[in-house]
Structure 1
Amino acid sequence: MTFLLSMLVVALGGAGGAASRWGLIVLMERRAAARERSGHGHLPTGLEMMPWATFLANLLACLLLGILVMRLGSVGGTLELLYLLLGVGYCGALSTVATAALDVVNLVRRGAPVLGLGYVLFTIGTGMAALWLGLVIGS
C-alpha cells in the first residue's frame, strides 16, 4: 500500500469524522435552544454550561475505536485501509482534545473553573471506560 493512498483514506475518514462532530454540536445546540424557548428540559445550574456535544463526540469515538481495534487488530491490505479510514481518520476527527481544551478555557472564562476541571476528569474517565467497553464489545 502506498503512502499517498493511506493519506487519502485517512483524509476521507477525517472529513467524515469532523463533519459528524460539527453536525452533532449543531444538532445539540439547536435542541438546547428549542428546550430553552419552550421552557422545558432545563438542566440544573452548572450542567447547562457543560459542553455536552464535545463530550458525546469524544465518548462515541472512544467506543468505536475500541470496537475497531478488537475487530481489525493489526491487519494489512484492505482491512488496513478500513482501519485507516475509520480508526485513524473518522475516530481521530470525531474526537478532539483541542475542542475539549477550548471548552475548558470557556468554562474558566465564564467563572466555572471547578466545572472545567470536573469536565476534564469526567471526559478522560468516561472516554477510557468507553474504549474499554468497545474492546469488550469487539472481542
Structure 2
Amino acid sequence: MNWLLVMTGAAVGAPLRYLTDRAVQSRHDSLFPWGTFTVNLAGSFVLGLLTGVSSVHTHLLLGTGLCGALTTYSTFSYETLKLYESGARGYALANVTGSVAAGLGAVWLGVETAALL
C-alpha cells in the first residue's frame, strides 16, 4: 500500500514539475533556471506544511511522492554547473545562494503556516 501512495504522488509530481518548469522558463528571457527554482521552492513550502500533518499516508503521498518528483536537486546541480562552465558564474552563484536561502525560507514559511492551521 505504501508504494502505491508514493507512486501516485510521483505520477502527479513529475508531470507537474515538467509543465511548471516549461511554463515559468518560457516567460523569462534569462540564463537563470527560473523553472527549477520555482518547483524547488514550491516543494520546500509543501514539505514545511506537512510538518503539521501526522498521517504517515499523507507524508508518503505528498511528501515522498509528490514533492520527491516535483523537486529536483540533480537538475539544480546540473544547471548550476552548466551556468558556471558557460561563463555565467554570477548566475551560478545566484542560483546556489538564492536556491538555498529561498528554499529554507519556503520551508520555514510552510512550517509557520502549518502551525497557524
TM-score, normalization by structure 2: 0.90
Aligned equivalent of 2:79, options 100, 103, 110: 103
Cα shift at 1:31: 3.2
2:13 counterpart of 1:17: yes
* Residues 59-93 of structure 1 deviation map (CA, whole Å, 9 limit, x = unaligned): 000011111112x13xxxxx321220001110111
Corresponding position of 2:38: 56
- Identity of paired residues, percent? 33
Shift of 1:118: 2.1
- Partner residue in 2 for 1:7: 3
Q: Which runs of 5+ in 2 are unaligned?
A: none
Paired residues for 1:59-138 under 5 Å: 59-70=41-52, 72-73=53-54, 79-138=55-114
Whole-Å Cα distance in 1 between the matches of residues 26 and 73 of structure 2? 23
| Greater Rg by CA | 1
Q: Which runs of 5+ in 1 are unaligned?
A: 33-41, 43-47, 74-78
- The alpha-carbon deviation at position 29 of structure 1 amounts to 3.4
Kept in 1: contact 2:21–2:38 (CA 8 A): no
Q: Are 2:13 and 2:67, in contact at CA under 8 Å, matched by a contact in 1?
A: yes
Give the counterpart letter for 2:51 in structure 1. V
CA RMSD of aligned residues (A): 1.4
Normalised TM-score (structure 1)? 0.77
Total equivalences in the alignment: 115
